[in-house]
Chain A
């Protein structure tokens, strides 16, 4: 009807924008990483032709070189640990925010969002000052996995809390009252009634925190201290890029993407399976 033409041209404009900033670049990095060469045809603006000379053994050797494998492995286990620790504390903090009341709760609310609002490089600078060579608390974590862990716990905390909080708020308190009326104590009620309903939200928070941790760069690049043992995948990708080793940088990116997408997809499937069982 009236606005149909406007909507159509708006959609076309939107798709061009998304292509420019997301879709074309992602295609380009995937092609580069998998050894596909892309040429552009010189004169026709919209005419590109692709000549594929795929070389998967090249891709494989690029990602299995010891430094790549180590970096990807480090990123994965660190991110999983960070997501797990914050899943626990995320539930604790959400419980306190939703169920407890005390002076200063508003402040706690605000502080939870700080790591989300604070630019990652700012966090990075603060951590190397606080836990570096001239540490006022005499803890030197530069070049250790502990340093990476602290920084990643910091940046992922809001995701773990904010995923659980709204679900906890909307939870039906009748089930808990029923559990208490049947003689169950607070902890038992929590474990047998509250926790199962929160599980999908906890998994969502776990996935968000994991994704953020795997991709994190700014807050950990300084505290990693340039050591090979503490070079995460994103750090390695940047180092390879800075060394003009573009094909390997792209290959490591593709491997990291595939691994974390697989992990996120399985989290999503599990979460929706639990959700379906809960809503029966």
Chain B
């Protein structure tokens, strides 16, 4: 089920609003809304979920205009930042809630709840109360509750926000697997670009309420539409007032390119960082692999020339893909997500 936003505006005051947002979230995708805090990410999610009504514009889910539809009739699964567990109900009752609202037969509810708890691996916790669950377990319960009603779209607000690093990593992997298994259009909000790049197959970068750029993670990383996107999605450095990726800089003999002096060399495992001082007095840095460095070593104090790596002379030759394919997943995801069948 695709989601389409057309010129959607919602103002709250200074921050957290969204301004003239037009974007299409493709059916079956796992989309991350990414941006700094106060950019309006959660507002955008709440607009899709119907918890907030736009001041202007239209929201369509699968060609149905849902702009003014009450959230209870949208058939969406919404997971809240604090999970919003119903504290006076057991895990099973929480998951059953949406089905009871829909007056499903008792036996069907029981089957569906069992199925959902199996899916989120909480079968042994059915009769516990939320207060007896850990953060990660509560998050999975919230997911089961949202998925039980077979929603058209799944909306997750900062799903990894309040969890510790290890649980975050596990849950990330698990959400990707889950998405590969059930293929429900999923939109999640995060402020962590690494998380977004790893989990999502498409990104919407938001800044001050406006969409800076939307597309596949690699596309946005390699072809940022603005300096903001470039800086937000990865390391950056500035040469002659132009921001670019430090691994897009190559060292050339003195006399060619921009003249510079090496001031510091640091080794971070496989990666080498070379700090340089430009003729203009500005500082910048270059990112190289160990192999690149070993092939053409430099020393502190050495005068060098700097130039931007051009697509045509790129030693790897994989940087540009003019089609910017949306179906190309980041490499890291391949190892994580083998579709599994229960």
Give Cα A2–Cα B68 distance, bound, in whole angstroms.
Answer: 10
Q: How far is the CA of A71 from the CA of B70 in the complex (A)?
A: 60
Residue of B nearest to A2 (CB): B70
Inter-chain CA distance A196–B68, complex, in Å, is 52
Q: Give the docked Cα–Cα distance between A2 and B50 (Å).
A: 12
A1 / chain B contacts, CB cutoff of 8 Å: 53, 68, 70
Q: Which residues of A contact B68 (CB under 8 A)?
A: 1
Question: Which residues of B sit under 8 angstroms from A2, Cβ to Cβ?
Answer: 70, 72
B residues 60-83 in Cβ contact with A at 8 Å: 68, 70, 72
Q: Is the interface of B mostly helix, strand, loop or mixed?
A: loop
Task: Name the residue on A nearest B70 (C-beta).
Answer: A2
- Tell me the bound Cα distance from A2 to B69 in angstroms: 9
B68, chain A: closest CB distance, angstroms: 7
Question: What chain A residues lie within 8 Å of B53 (beta carbons)?
Answer: 1
- B219-273 contacts to A (CB < 8 Å): none
Q: Report how far A80 CA is from B53 CA in the complex, Å.
A: 52
State how many angstroms separate the Cβ of A86 from the closest Cβ of chain B: 37
CB distance from A1 to the nearest CB of B (A): 5
- What is the distance, in angstroms, from A22's C-beta to the closest C-beta of chain B? 34
The distance from the CB of B200 to the nearest CB of chain A, in whole angstroms, is: 31
Q: How many angstroms from the CA of A2 to the CA of B53 in the assembled complex?
A: 13
A1 CA to B66 CA, complexed, in Å: 13
| Chain A contacts with B in 1-29, Cβ cutoff 8 A | 1-2
Tell me, rounded to whole Å, the shortest Cβ–Cβ distance linking A251 to chain B. 48
Residue of B nearest to A3 (CB): B70
- Shortest Cβ distance from B201 into chain A, in angstroms? 33
**Given the complex of chains A and B, what is the CA–CA distance between A247 and B149 in angstroms?**
66
Determine the distance from Cα of A20 to Cα of B70 in the docked complex, in whole angstroms: 35
Nearest A residue (CB) for B68: A1
In the complex, A211 Cα to B70 Cα: how many Å? 46
In the complex formed, the residue of A with least CB distance to B71 is A1
Chain B, 72-112, CB within 8 A of any chain A CB: 72
List B residues 150-183 near A (Cβ within 8 Å): none
- Mark contacts of B13-56 with chain A using CB atoms, 8 A cut-off: 1 yes-contact digit, 0 otherwise: 00000000000000000000000000000000000000001000
How far does the Cβ of A7 sit from chain B's closest Cβ, in whole Å?
A: 13
- B71 CB to closest chain A CB (Å) equals 9
Q: How far is the CA of A2 from the CA of B70 in the complex (A)?
A: 7
Complex: A1 Cα to B71 Cα, angstroms: 10
Q: Mark A166-200, 1 if CB is under 8 A from B, else 0.
A: 00000000000000000000000000000000000
- Residues of chain B having any CB pair with chain A under 8 Å: 53, 68, 70, 72
Closest 5 CB pairs of A and B: A2-B70, A1-B70, A1-B53, A1-B68, A2-B72
- In the complex, 5 of the A-B residue pairs with CB atoms within 8 angstroms, ordered by the A residue number, are A1-B53, A1-B68, A1-B70, A2-B70, A2-B72
State the A residues within 8 Å of B (CB).
1-2
